[in-house]
Amino acid sequence: MKIRKADDVPAEPVRAEGAKDVEIRLLIHEAEGAPNFYMRQFTVAPGGQTPEHTHAWEHEVYVLAGEGTAVTPDGERPVAVGDCVYVAPGDNHQFRNTGAAEMKFLCLVPKT
Protein backbone atom coordinates (compact mmCIF):
# COMPACT_ATOMS: atom_id res chain seq x y z
CA MET A 1 0.00 0.00 0.00
CA LYS A 2 1.22 3.50 -0.78
CA ILE A 3 -0.20 6.61 0.93
CA ARG A 4 0.83 10.08 -0.20
CA LYS A 5 -0.44 13.62 -0.03
CA ALA A 6 -1.45 14.38 -3.62
CA ASP A 7 0.05 17.86 -3.33
CA ASP A 8 3.44 16.26 -2.54
CA VAL A 9 3.48 14.45 -5.89
CA PRO A 10 5.66 16.40 -8.35
CA ALA A 11 3.72 18.41 -10.95
CA GLU A 12 4.65 18.67 -14.60
CA PRO A 13 3.27 21.18 -17.11
CA VAL A 14 0.92 19.74 -19.72
CA ARG A 15 2.56 20.57 -23.04
CA ALA A 16 -0.08 19.17 -25.42
CA GLU A 17 -1.24 21.53 -28.16
CA GLY A 18 -4.19 23.57 -26.94
CA ALA A 19 -3.32 23.20 -23.25
CA LYS A 20 -2.90 26.45 -21.31
CA ASP A 21 -1.71 26.81 -17.70
CA VAL A 22 -2.34 23.19 -16.75
CA GLU A 23 -0.23 20.91 -14.58
CA ILE A 24 -0.48 17.16 -14.12
CA ARG A 25 0.44 14.95 -11.16
CA LEU A 26 0.66 11.18 -11.64
CA LEU A 27 -0.89 10.07 -8.34
CA ILE A 28 -1.23 6.34 -9.06
CA HIS A 29 0.50 5.26 -12.24
CA GLU A 30 3.23 3.05 -13.69
CA ALA A 31 5.59 3.78 -10.79
CA GLU A 32 3.05 2.26 -8.39
CA GLY A 33 2.58 -0.77 -10.63
CA ALA A 34 -1.12 -0.06 -11.12
CA PRO A 35 -2.27 -2.92 -13.34
CA ASN A 36 -5.47 -1.62 -14.97
CA PHE A 37 -5.98 2.15 -14.75
CA TYR A 38 -4.20 5.31 -13.67
CA MET A 39 -5.15 8.24 -11.38
CA ARG A 40 -3.89 11.65 -12.44
CA GLN A 41 -4.63 15.06 -10.89
CA PHE A 42 -4.85 18.18 -13.03
CA THR A 43 -4.52 21.75 -11.78
CA VAL A 44 -5.78 24.46 -14.12
CA ALA A 45 -4.98 28.10 -13.34
CA PRO A 46 -7.71 30.73 -13.78
CA GLY A 47 -8.11 31.27 -17.53
CA GLY A 48 -6.35 28.00 -18.31
CA GLN A 49 -7.69 24.98 -20.15
CA THR A 50 -6.98 21.40 -21.11
CA PRO A 51 -6.70 20.54 -24.81
CA GLU A 52 -9.96 20.04 -26.69
CA HIS A 53 -9.69 16.56 -28.12
CA THR A 54 -11.29 13.20 -28.78
CA HIS A 55 -9.88 9.72 -28.26
CA ALA A 56 -10.91 6.11 -28.11
CA TRP A 57 -10.66 5.68 -24.33
CA GLU A 58 -12.80 6.95 -21.49
CA HIS A 59 -12.09 9.47 -18.71
CA GLU A 60 -13.49 9.24 -15.20
CA VAL A 61 -13.29 12.72 -13.67
CA TYR A 62 -14.00 14.15 -10.21
CA VAL A 63 -13.74 17.89 -9.59
CA LEU A 64 -11.81 18.54 -6.37
CA ALA A 65 -11.75 22.35 -6.36
CA GLY A 66 -12.91 25.34 -8.32
CA GLU A 67 -15.32 25.71 -11.17
CA GLY A 68 -15.27 25.90 -14.92
CA THR A 69 -16.76 24.87 -18.21
CA ALA A 70 -16.74 21.44 -19.81
CA VAL A 71 -16.90 21.17 -23.58
CA THR A 72 -19.14 18.18 -24.30
CA PRO A 73 -20.64 16.61 -27.45
CA ASP A 74 -23.85 18.45 -26.49
CA GLY A 75 -22.25 21.87 -25.99
CA GLU A 76 -20.71 23.66 -23.03
CA ARG A 77 -21.75 22.73 -19.53
CA PRO A 78 -20.78 24.15 -16.11
CA VAL A 79 -18.71 21.97 -13.77
CA ALA A 80 -17.80 22.63 -10.15
CA VAL A 81 -16.29 21.05 -7.06
CA GLY A 82 -18.11 17.85 -6.17
CA ASP A 83 -19.10 16.97 -9.73
CA CYS A 84 -18.27 13.62 -11.30
CA VAL A 85 -17.94 13.46 -15.07
CA TYR A 86 -17.94 10.39 -17.27
CA VAL A 87 -16.33 11.08 -20.65
CA ALA A 88 -17.22 8.12 -22.84
CA PRO A 89 -14.84 6.82 -25.52
CA GLY A 90 -15.17 9.07 -28.56
CA ASP A 91 -16.65 12.09 -26.68
CA ASN A 92 -15.02 15.36 -27.69
CA HIS A 93 -14.08 17.18 -24.47
CA GLN A 94 -12.20 20.04 -22.83
CA PHE A 95 -12.10 21.59 -19.35
CA ARG A 96 -11.70 25.35 -18.93
CA ASN A 97 -11.21 27.18 -15.66
CA THR A 98 -13.64 30.11 -15.75
CA GLY A 99 -13.37 30.86 -12.04
CA ALA A 100 -11.06 33.07 -9.99
CA ALA A 101 -9.35 30.22 -8.13
CA GLU A 102 -7.46 27.09 -9.18
CA MET A 103 -9.56 24.32 -10.68
CA LYS A 104 -8.38 20.86 -9.63
CA PHE A 105 -9.75 17.55 -10.81
CA LEU A 106 -8.89 13.89 -10.87
CA CYS A 107 -8.93 12.26 -14.30
CA LEU A 108 -8.55 8.49 -14.47
CA VAL A 109 -7.73 6.61 -17.63
CA PRO A 110 -7.36 2.95 -18.55
CA LYS A 111 -3.85 1.59 -18.91
CA THR A 112 -3.27 1.24 -22.64
Chain residues binding a copy of itself by CB under 8 A are 1-7, 9, 27-28, 32-37, 39, 41, 57-58, 60, 62, 64, 70, 72-74, 77, 79, 82-89, 91, 93, 106, 108, 110
Least CB distance from residue 6 to a copy of itself, whole Å? 5
DSSP 21: E
How far is residue 27's CA from residue 5's CA, in Å, rounded to a whole number?
9
How far is residue 12's CA from residue 93's CA, in Å, rounded to a whole number?
21
Question: Would you say 14 or 59 has its CB closer to a copy of itself?
Answer: 59
Question: Would you say 34 or 45 has its CB closer to a copy of itself?
Answer: 34
| 62: number of Cβ within 10 Å | 16
Least CB distance from residue 42 to a copy of itself, whole Å? 13
Least CB distance from residue 40 to a copy of itself, whole Å? 10
Least CB distance from residue 71 to a copy of itself, whole Å? 9
CA 78 to chain centre: 15
Closest among 91, 73, 87, 84 to 106, alpha carbons compared: 84
